[in-house]
Chain A
Amino acid sequence: MGKYIPATPEERQGMLEAIGLTSTEQLYDVVPASVRVQELHLPSGLSELEVSQKVSALAEANETFRSIFLGAGAYHHYIPAIVKSITSKEEFLTAYTPYQAEISQGVLQSIFEYQTQMCELTGMDVSNASVYDGATAAAEAVLMCQERKRKSVIVSGAADPQVITVIRTYCESRDVPVTVVPAEGCATDPAAIRALLTKETAAVYVQNPNYYGVIEDVAAITNAAHEAGAKMIVGVNPISLGILKTPGEYGADIAVGEGQPLGLPLSFGGPYLGFMTCKSAMMRKLPGRIVGQTTDHQGRRAFVLTLQAREQHIRREKASSNICSNEALCAMTASVYLAAMGPKGLRQVAESSLSHAHYLAAELGKRGFTLRSGDKPFFHEFLTDCPVDPVVLNAKLAEKGILGGLPVDGGILWCCTELNSKAEIDRLVSIVEEVCAQ
């Protein structure tokens, strides 16, 4: 019985003979005897049926929730059936990076379409073919802005804490000073950023909507950054761009974000999708694969990986990024999602998420869950006080099949999407009321 190896013992023997050997052991004669493995301490292999049962049991050992009010960087949206159907096609699943354009037009064209959609969504000129996730996209964007005399970066403290941590990791090894501006009332104060900008500031990073769901005064921050000669990087939630002003409209130089809300399941954190778009002027600093349009010798439209001389396989130690594999299939997922939704569908998702969140905020507000962001505008997340212990509240909600918001600084960070119907929200609120009354 083979484990995905077609060769029978007889065939194997015949092939060994063909290369002048008698046993497979001889293939490893070159390995020093002192370090040859005698036996791996692993369980014996299992049949597909047994494996299926074993791994299914692991999946079932998790608790999943139908009703989810938790966001904070990973969002529960409806995924149209067509998305999964298309992205599970084996050609897309089992292809490598499209190095050979002549037999990879499908993948290449899909990336070109993805790039176009991301430019449309963010209002920027150029998109790459994806990076690992939103956090690494932000970190790569910071490194894109490095100039000889401008190194440091100012990061909004109202950004996702994990994004800030990843930016710090990437910057530490490149000796890029990072200053995090504390958030005031769940938002970034443009004056605080302005006060920190110097001739050495390479970039400012702000998330919009921020970690607390607040829609920042990004235009003011962008102006401040530009007046000081620094680049402006904005981290955006792609769904919010169904409604909100685009990074292109307020003049950002680079837009990045987590593409997971565009058709990718929560999946305990990955695979996700880092997207990066920028102004034309920064095109050659953009890391990662980029697909371009050209023609073949007969003049037919063709797509190829282009601007490759930026990349590690050519520029080696002088490359500005080491990225090779990216999240191509996740980018295709986002592209199919956006095509399935269309401009109206995307707006509907954004509008429902926004409206559900505001409905929930109002209902909770009546019950003592005060908004910590005051009257600042917010999108589909918001941080409230919590009259009871948030952990206790969440445990009670979990008993009723509801995944509550994230406990943050004694309060709760709530999130709503189009999936949280009015009935679901009303049920949440009534349970919250019960718990608070106890």
Chain B
Amino acid sequence: MYVTPVDLKYTKSHEWVSEENGLTVIGLTDYAQSALGDIVFINLPEVGDEVTAGEPFSDTESVKAVSDVFSPVTGTVAEVNEDLLDNPALVNESPYEAWLIKVENVTETEDLLNAEEYEAVVAAEEG
């Protein structure tokens, strides 16, 4: 029902993670964007900010809710997807292209899930 690319890693809190030129790329999964509904704004950190594994680094706003986005790694924000500031709907439309941040100097990484494990997490939440 939800798209879960096999080449990505996942967190239990519904972020996807990939590696790209030594940077850790973080975004929201298809299940996450569906559960959040129409995203109207994303609060993003600034380049140079520190993120901590297991701590929120961003939040997404829908009309009547706000939800934290958690970092699976500890490190420094190297890039921020500024397109999302003007067009947060990109996360709804193509969640695996609409990355949120890229992190460098990663010192710690949470245990990540593979696609199969993550699908099981989603299935459990769906009840």
Contacts and interface: CB of A to CB of B under 8 A. Distances in A.
Whether A associates with B in a native complex is yes
A309 B88 CA distance: 14
The interface residues of chain B, by DSSP majority, are classed as: loop
Interface string A367-399: 000000000000000000000000000000000
Given A284-B43, A314-B64, A318-B66, 15 more contacts: A284-B41, A307-B41, A308-B63, A308-B64, A309-B40, A309-B41, A309-B61, A309-B62, A309-B63, A309-B64, A309-B65, A309-B66, A314-B65, A314-B66, A315-B66
Contacts of A307: 41
Interface in A279-308: 284, 307-308
Interface in B26-59: 40-41, 43
Interface of B: 40-41, 43, 61-66
Contacts of B41: 284, 307, 309
Nearest to A315: B66
Contacts, number: 18
Interface size class of chain A, counting residues whose CB lies under 8 Å from the partner chain: under 10
A309 B40 CA distance: 9
Nearest to A284: B41
Contacts of A315: 66
18 contacts: A284-B41, A284-B43, A307-B41, A308-B63, A308-B64, A309-B40, A309-B41, A309-B61, A309-B62, A309-B63, A309-B64, A309-B65, A309-B66, A314-B64, A314-B65, A314-B66, A315-B66, A318-B66
Most buried by A among B40, B61, B65: B61
A314 B41 CA distance: 14
B80 to A, nearest CB: 15
B35 to A, nearest CB: 16
Contacts of B61: 309
A128 B57 CA distance: 27
Most buried by A among B40, B64, B66: B66
Q: 8 tightest CB-CB pairs across the interface, nearest first?
A: A309-B61, A309-B66, A315-B66, A314-B66, A314-B65, A314-B64, A309-B41, A308-B64
A98 to B, nearest CB: 15
A308 B61 CA distance: 9
A284 B61 CA distance: 11
A419 B102 CA distance: 63
A19 B40 CA distance: 46
A308 B41 CA distance: 11
A35 to B, nearest CB: 38
A337 B71 CA distance: 51
Nearest to B45: A148
Contacts of A309: 40-41, 61-66
A314 B63 CA distance: 9
A315 B60 CA distance: 11
A397 B41 CA distance: 59
Contacts of B66: 309, 314-315, 318
A284 B43 CA distance: 10
B33 to A, nearest CB: 16
